[in-house]
Amino acid sequence: MVELALSTVFLMILLGGLLDLSRAFHYTVGLEGAVRAGARHGAFFQSTIGQQPYLDNADIKQAVDQVLAGDGLNASTLVSSASCLTPTDSNTWVNPPYASSAYPSTANTPTLYICYDTQGANKSGNKASPPAPNDATYTGSDVVVILLDKYGLIGGLSSEYLKSGSSLAGINLTAFQHFSVQG
């Protein structure tokens, strides 16, 4: 009987871990789909007016949030600034890895970063409106859409079981998509 009690506890911990992993996988797939939709939406070129009508923060965020909502995830919080998110390895393409401070402190609250023209003179982390019709400034440049999130575990391990200063209350997740702007 004692063996059954001990093995039941172990099996419940194992089941909780499997649930966490499967939920984290679903969550990551949702984040990846959202950044892909946002980048694709922003890079779109409408030839009849000679414009990228969705190459701005509001339209890209809307596309990202629609996909997140479709996956049952929380809407993103846009962080816009004059500069792009800086990777910890200082690569110029704004590819991961990112500093821990860039990730949200609250679990399951995606943070959205958008970077325009990473290699050109118009490099910026903020774009309030799309380019004017027949304006080729961003044609052939790029747009990067990044979602950073802290995935909240169902049964996160308490810090009393881990070494001092560490915690398994959440896992940092990164979704990243880099598209060429059409035109």
pLDDT of residue 155: 63
Please, are residues 112 and 64 in contact by the beta-carbon 8 Å criterion? yes
Residue type, position 91, single letter: N
CA separation for the pair 63, 128 (Å, rounded)? 15
Please, are residues 85 and 98 in contact by the beta-carbon 8 Å criterion? yes
Over residues 107-116, the pLDDT tens digits come to: 899 999 999 9
> Which helix (H) or strand (E) element contains residue 157?
strand 142-157
Whether the model pTM is above 0.85: yes
Residue type, position 131, single letter: P
Picking from 174, 181, 128, 121, the residue whose alpha carbon sits closest to that of residue 149 is: 174
Going from N- to C-terminal start, the domains of the chain cover: 2-180
pLDDT of residue 156: 56
User: What 3-state class would DSSP assign to 45?
Assistant: coil
